[in-house]
Structures are given as C-alpha cells and as structure tokens.
C-alpha cells in the first residue's frame, strides 16, 4: 500500500516509512525528498529543493532497484472519491539529477507489481470496462499495455456461490453460467446493466443465496442495478434503472416468480 514518508526519517534503500504527518523528509542515493502538506488540501513533492509535483494527496512507496535504477513509485490524486490516485515514478540516480515520470492519466484503481526489470500496474477488469495495464522501465518510462477484458471463469459454476460472502456483484458475474444467462437474456440491455452493476456497490449471502447491488457513483439514485442468485433453483434475478426512466427494468419480467429477498431489494428502490 502507498504511504506518506515518515517525518525526519533518513532512508537509504531500507525498510518502509510508516507515518502520515505533514512535513516528511527522506534521503535516497544522496537525493533529499520532501512531501509537505499545506493544510489546505494540497501536497507538494520536492526533490533536491525543487518542486516536482503538486496534488491533493501524494503517497510514496519504498525505494526499489528496477532495471539497475533506484526508484520510488507513488500515487497522487485530488483526494475524495471522484477518482483513484494515479501512479508515478521518481528516478533517483546516484550522482545524477532526479526525474519524475507520470502520473499517468487514469481514474481507475491499479495494483502495483515490482519486477526486477519493470514496474507493472494492473486494474481489475469489470463487465463494463477492461482492466488497464501500465508498465514502467528506465528506458521507456510509462507504456500503456493491452487492456485485459473481463471474462467469467470457466471453472466457476453455481457451486461457487458460497464463496460470494461479502463480495461485490462483479465477483458473482465471474460465475460462468450467471454471466452467460444475463448476456443472453438482456441482449442489447446488457451494457446498461453491466455499467451499473460494476460500479460502487456491495453484496453478500442471504440464507445461502447471493444478493448484490451497485450504482454509478455520481447518479446513484437514478442509475443502479441489483443481482440475486437463487442457489437451490439456480436461477438469476436482476434489475437495473437508467437515468430518468419511469421504472426499473427487470429479469425475468414476471415478478411473481421472484423470491422475496430479491423482490424486497427491488421495492426498496421503487417504494412499491
């Protein structure tokens, strides 16, 4: 996980800094690095007394050797929940000038993997968006990789339902027969459902069945979706609402077939 630098802590390719205080100083390969907080929502990254980056929040990882270079990766962003922080790399050669690469232009959450010759960031693919892939090397800096498309898992079937405790609905859609049924049944409406069920949400098991809901972050009351999986009957139930539509769309259409927990989740939105 990214962290802010520990205050007044000199670190030379050693263990991680832990604190998150306002003014933090770090020394790596003879370079002085400071992250300062002005108290008004802006962090400043300074290297060798030169300001190299400002943003709402700046977090740094431990120094690493990558491709023969000493680097510190980090993330920065405006803060709040509008966007995830974006990665950057600070290159710190011994006896040479420091260099900042990035941050990349992204709003998605990315996971960092440190390799001997490269840094790799990957984002989790969802039914609505492919997962981003970024690599960084000393020679080429940041390079966008081929996005990884979402795909259900061939080995996951209805027997995987018990693994969905406290899981986001995207995890439920990794069960192959669930994704296949919804794509086939919803047809042209699948992208609308996928967009909403992939966003801000949560889910879990209800008496051995799965119930999950999600919504678009900035229009949550108007753009939402729900998914219910009946373990015993191996049936899928889904609803989704788009913008100013008068009512949610549902699958299957006959609400008399819906189990009570699924119907209750739907009525919580409609007031019915």
**Could you tell me the two tokens for 39?**
């108290």
pLDDT on residue 79:
82
Of the pLDDT bands very low, low, confident and very high (cuts 50, 70, 90), residue 20 is very low
User: Do β-strands 69-77 and 86-91 pair in parallel, antiparallel, or remain unpaired?
Assistant: antiparallel
Within the chain, residue ranges assigned H as helices are: 169-172, 176-186, 190-197, 260-270
Ramachandran angles phi, psi of 75, nearest 5°: -135, 155
Q: Would you state the structure tokens that stand for residue 57, as one six-digit string?
A: 């929040």
Residue 198 makes CB contacts below 8 A (sequence gap 6+) with 126, 127, 128, 129, 169, 170, 214
Query: Coil, strand, or helix at residue 166?
Result: coil
Instruction: Identify the pLDDT of residue 250.
Output: 98
**Phi then psi for 220, rounded to 5 degrees?**
-60, -35
Q: What is the pTM of this model?
A: 0.71
Structural domain spans, the chain: 24-105, 158-270
Cβ proximity of 11 and 19 under 8 Å? no
Q: What would the two tokens of residue 163 be? A: 């693994």
Strand ranges across the sheet with 224-230: 200-206, 209-215, 224-230, 235-241, 249-251
- Residue 80: pLDDT band (50, 70, 90) is confident
Q: How far is 76 from 92, CA to CA, in rounded Å?
A: 18
Q: pLDDT tens-digit profile of 246-262? A: 999 999 999 999 999 99
- What tokens does 26 get? 């770090």
pLDDT tens by residue, 138-150: 999 999 999 988 8
């Amino acid at each position: 996980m990214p962290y802010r630098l520990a205050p007044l802590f000199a670190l030379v390719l050693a263990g991680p800094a832990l604190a998150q205080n306002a003014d933090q100083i770090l020394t790596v390969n003879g370079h002085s690095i400071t992250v300062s907080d002005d108290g008004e929502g802006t962090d400043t990254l300074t290297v060798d007394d030169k300001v190299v980056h400002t943003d709402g929040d700046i977090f740094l990882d431990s120094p690493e050797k990558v491709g023969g270079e000493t680097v510190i990766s980090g993330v920065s962003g405006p803060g709040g929940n509008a966007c995830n922080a974006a990665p950057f790399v600070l290159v710190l050669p011994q006896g040479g000038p420091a260099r900042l690469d990035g941050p990349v232009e992204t709003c998605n959450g990315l996971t960092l993997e440190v390799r001997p010759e490269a840094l790799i960031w990957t984002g989790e693919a969802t039914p609505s968006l492919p997962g981003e892939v970024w690599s960084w090397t000393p020679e080429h800096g940041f390079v966008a990789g081929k996005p990884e498309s979402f795909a259900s898992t061939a080995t996951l079937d209805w027997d995987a339902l018990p693994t969905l405790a406290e899981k986001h609905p995207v995890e439920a859609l990794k069960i192959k027969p669930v994704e296949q049924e919804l794509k086939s049944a919803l047809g042209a409406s699948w992208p609308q459902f996928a967009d909403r069920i992939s966003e801000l949400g949560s889910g879990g098991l209800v008496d051995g069945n799965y119930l999950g809901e999600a919504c678009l972050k900035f229009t949550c009351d108007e753009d939402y979706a729900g998914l219910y999986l009946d373990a015993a009957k191996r049936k899928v139930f889904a609803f989704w609402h788009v913008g100013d539509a008068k009512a949610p769309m549902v699958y299957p259409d006959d609400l008399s077939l819906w189990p009570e927990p699924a119907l209750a989740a739907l009525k919580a939105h409609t007031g019915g």
